[in-house]
Structure 1
Amino acid sequence: MSSPALVRPHPVHRAADLLAAYLPGSFYYSSTTGSLLADGVHATVRAPHGTRARAAAEALDAASVLGVGDPVVVGAIGFRPDAETSLVVPAVVRRAGAPGTDGPVAATGSASWSITPRPEPEVYAEGVRRALALIDDGELGKVVLARCLELTADQPVGVPALLTRLVRLNPAAHAFAVDVSAPGDPAPRTLVGASPELLVSRRGHEVVANPLAGSLPRVADEAENRRRVAALLASAKDRAEHAHVSAQVAEVLGRFCTDLDVPEPTVIGTPTMWHLSTRITGRLARPDDPGASALALAEALHPTPAVCGVPVERARAAIAELEPEDRGYYSGLVGWTDASGDGEWVVTIRSAEVCDRTVRLFAGAGIVAGSDPAAEVVETSAKFRTLLRALGLEVSA
């Protein structure tokens, strides 16, 4: 079963041209299914948690009536129910095939950086220990704890070059750049990243979700990588963590789908990590129902235990208590939905918010019984490497 294609039968643009045409303020999204570049704002979609899909459908209907050709809603939604959102119907949309893997990698520039961990790694490890105490007391089955790096350069950060490097260095990822500027920001703010995790895609009757949970860092030695892949598949702790996620995703999609297929997990790799992965597929019972659009499915799924925990509300409360930094858009969702309800939304991980000279990036780890605080620090450090490599930094985090 395939993901929804961003590509029309005869795309008139080249993927490389769309990537080269991106400028801050545009919306860019690409994956192995295609590329999309959107510019301008025909309408802004504002609605509270749980009603965004309906508001998006109404905005798409209104755009169609006003003659907007092939309207889509694009943007991002933050982690918390009351978090920021940036959803719009753009004025112009261009599509192309998937980005190639042989294009030029933009230079990183010559910026000098200062890096501030928020919190310090030892404070994060103490937060993991506090989370384990909640798990031992039976309050939680799992909680995902994140930490932040704040990077400050001696010159403005070039978002187009950063996006290009993310696309080229992570060819299998879902790459994105979204304007998430808000009142009070000292300069335009852009959410940019290369997520490996598909929250949900929809094409007609077909639905696909690909939750990831249970991870180990990737290393240079291929023999050691093979050992780590085998260890993930054999790990009772990691498989239990993954089962929390895949079961919840299957339960939610089961409300909308027939013929749901939930296979045994496999291991997928990114340039920096190995992840347990389950590709869940299903067939929508009522694809014409506006309540079964790609965005509606994404709202129903978010937040999965891959970024929050089990049970959800207690995990959210623990995150608010144990994480000193507001996640913002990190571990939310980013993507697109069209007037037919088709679309693709991914989990906002391996991402950063860029504002002038400042880059804020987050990484999280799933805490379950048996988690080791020091190992979770190592895991989050490895997850930072996607953005750090794209920025030209190879540092210990």
Structure 2
Amino acid sequence: MSITPAERTVHETSRVEWDPDPSPYRSRRWVGPTDHTARFISSRLTAEVRGDLHQVPSTDFEDAVESAFANNPTADIIIGCLPFDPADSAVFVCGANETEPGAGSEAVQQAAAPQIRSVIDVPGVAEYERRVDEALRLIDEGAMEKVVLARSKLAAAAAPIDPQQLLERLRANSPHGFGFHVPLVDGGSFVGLSPELLVERDQLAVSSHPLAGSRSRTGGSDEDAARIADLRASGKDAREHQLVVEAVESALDPYCPDTRVDDQDITATDSMFHLGTWVRGNLATDELVRLPSVSALARALHPTPAVCGAPTEEAREMLRRVEGGRGYFTGAVGWQDRDGNGEWAVAIRGAMIEGSTALVSAGAGIVAGSDPRAEAEETGAKLRTVLSALGLGEQVTR
């Protein structure tokens, strides 16, 4: 999300130096502090990679990854981020997975929360609700079916925020999902714990688990059961969810001739319930055609209507106009090995960390029948995942 200099109350700057890479893929190597570290944690993999930080145009991502592997014979994995807007650059770190065997089974240690001294809304709740009203007008006029509007909270701490400790606190609060910590070229980090699998490739098997349609959790078993029942029965949420599932299925069809859609399920996080659906298939094999990597599949699927809207270009144009740039929020974050296997998650439930500040963002899908106040409350509930890890969960209600 775009913020102004006045909105960033604490802002650390450092000199940026670039070492041009003569590669035809226009990859660039960051030559500030060495040994950039990226991490990704899921039920399938626990990985930590150290190496050069590459920034490349999104359209060149697969070629740049192939080039990085070719130039580093000891590397077995890349971890990186794709931006929300394809006009922006992607980043990745390429190297050997340095995670010790068995590390993924160890208990996560609870790290101390940073001392937060101020929090501001970007934009304010009233402005967010006004944007929802504008989106509903455009939907009513037929300009689009859905748009995902986001808002943020910018937290400033008394001391630099440790990205790894934040990731540990996120995992301690909710051990499931896709944990990530990716360094950025401005010296900051993107850290989070996403509940949503954009795409996974395991040899020929491909799967995606899109989420759309949500209710906040209360912690009370009876009330939460009622909210799940209400979510399952909601026509509005069913339409919103179906838009996403159909888009994912359509995007996978050119690669997987046997694409199939499972029954709808409920995915629970520490603060939310989501409608989810598994979409699965197997890659078509043709000895004359190279199998697409998981990164290529991620770029083919991204952005789904779960984070952008439908139709995609119309929704994205509104988001550029009212939000500005999102950076890596609602982009994709994941890993890939030399054989093209890997996982990419939707880059949500995260924070952009820069020195002592954390920009935490969340979005809600706006369709016909959406209520501005309810959407603001939904984004507030989603924001609490990261805000709780920052020690602010109970202090923020909207």
Q: Normalising by structure 1, report the TM-score.
A: 0.87
C-alpha deviation, 1:59, in angstroms: 2.8
2:275 is paired with a residue of what secondary structure?
strand
Within the candidate set 160, 184, 194, 1:156 is matched to 160
C-alpha deviation, 1:163, in angstroms: 1.3
1:172 maps onto 2:176 in alignment: yes
Partner of 1:309: 309
Unaligned runs of 5+ in 2: 1-33
Partner of 1:395: 395
C-alpha deviation, 1:107, in angstroms: 1.9
Cα distance in structure 2, aligned partners of 1:152 and 1:112: 6
Cα distance in structure 1, aligned partners of 2:345 and 2:308: 15
Cα distance in structure 1, aligned partners of 2:113 and 2:128: 30
Partner of 1:294: 294
Cα distance in structure 1, aligned partners of 2:256 and 2:38: 30
CA pair 97-114 structure 1, distance change in 2 beyond 3 A: same
Note the alpha carbon deviations across 1:270-317, whole angstroms, 9 max, x for none: 010000000111111138754611000000000000000100000000
Note the alpha carbon deviations across 1:31-67, whole angstroms, 9 max, x for none: 11120001122x7362x3333123322332343xxx3
CA pair 243-24 structure 1, distance change in 2 beyond 3 A: farther
C-alpha deviation, 1:92, in angstroms: 5.5
1:54 maps onto 2:53 in alignment: no
8 Å contact from structure 2 (residues 190, 351) kept in 1? yes
Partner of 1:26: 37
C-alpha deviation, 1:104, in angstroms: 2.7
Within 5 A, what are the aligned runs for 1:101-112?
A: 102-109=107-114, 111-112=115-116
Q: Quick one: which amino acid aligns to residue 386 of structure 2? A: L
Partner of 1:352: 351
1:379 is paired with a residue of what secondary structure?
helix
Partner of 1:231: 230
Within 5 A, what are the aligned runs for 1:72-221?
A: 72-90=77-95, 93-94=98-99, 96=101, 99-100=104-105, 102-109=107-114, 111-182=115-186, 188-221=187-220
CA pair 98-201 structure 1, distance change in 2 beyond 3 A: farther
8 Å contact from structure 2 (residues 285, 291) kept in 1? no
Cα distance in structure 2, aligned partners of 1:58 and 1:356: 32
Q: Quick one: which amino acid aligns to residue 40 of structure 1? A: G
1:265 is paired with a residue of what secondary structure?
strand
Partner of 1:370: 369
1:129 is paired with a residue of what secondary structure?
helix
Cα distance in structure 1, aligned partners of 2:300 and 2:59: 8
CA pair 98-376 structure 1, distance change in 2 beyond 3 A: farther
Cα distance in structure 2, aligned partners of 1:99 and 1:338: 18
CA pair 344-94 structure 1, distance change in 2 beyond 3 A: same
Partner of 1:320: 320
CA pair 308-132 structure 1, distance change in 2 beyond 3 A: same
C-alpha deviation, 1:93, in angstroms: 3.8
C-alpha deviation, 1:97, in angstroms: 5.3
Cα distance in structure 2, aligned partners of 1:147 and 1:112: 19
Greater mean alpha carbon deviation, residues 115-124 or residues 173-182: 173-182
C-alpha deviation, 1:340, in angstroms: 0.6
Cα distance in structure 2, aligned partners of 1:118 and 1:24: 33
Partner of 2:27: none
Q: Normalising by structure 2, report the TM-score.
A: 0.86
1:163 is paired with a residue of what secondary structure?
helix
C-alpha deviation, 1:25, in angstroms: 3.5
- How high is the sequence identity, in percent, across the aligned residues? 39
C-alpha deviation, 1:91, in angstroms: 5.5
C-alpha deviation, 1:153, in angstroms: 1.1
Cα distance in structure 1, aligned partners of 2:65 and 2:257: 25
8 Å contact from structure 1 (residues 34, 98) kept in 2? no
Cα distance in structure 2, aligned partners of 1:295 and 1:160: 25
8 Å contact from structure 2 (residues 147, 366) kept in 1? yes
Cα distance in structure 2, aligned partners of 1:304 and 1:96: 35
Note the alpha carbon deviations across 1:3-54, whole angstroms, 9 max, x for none: xxxxxxxxxxxxxxxxxxxx9941011011120001122x7362x3333123
C-alpha deviation, 1:321, in angstroms: 1.8
8 Å contact from structure 2 (residues 335, 343) kept in 1? yes
2:295 is paired with a residue of what secondary structure?
helix
Cα distance in structure 1, aligned partners of 2:195 and 2:103: 15
Unaligned runs of 5+ in 1: 1-22, 183-187
The root-mean-square deviation of aligned C-alpha atoms, in Å, is 2.0
Q: Quick one: which amino acid aligns to residue 50 of structure 2? A: D
Cα distance in structure 2, aligned partners of 1:165 and 1:294: 29
8 Å contact from structure 1 (residues 99, 171) kept in 2? no
Partner of 1:36: 47
C-alpha deviation, 1:141, in angstroms: 0.6
Cα distance in structure 2, aligned partners of 1:238 and 1:24: 45
8 Å contact from structure 1 (residues 30, 98) kept in 2? no
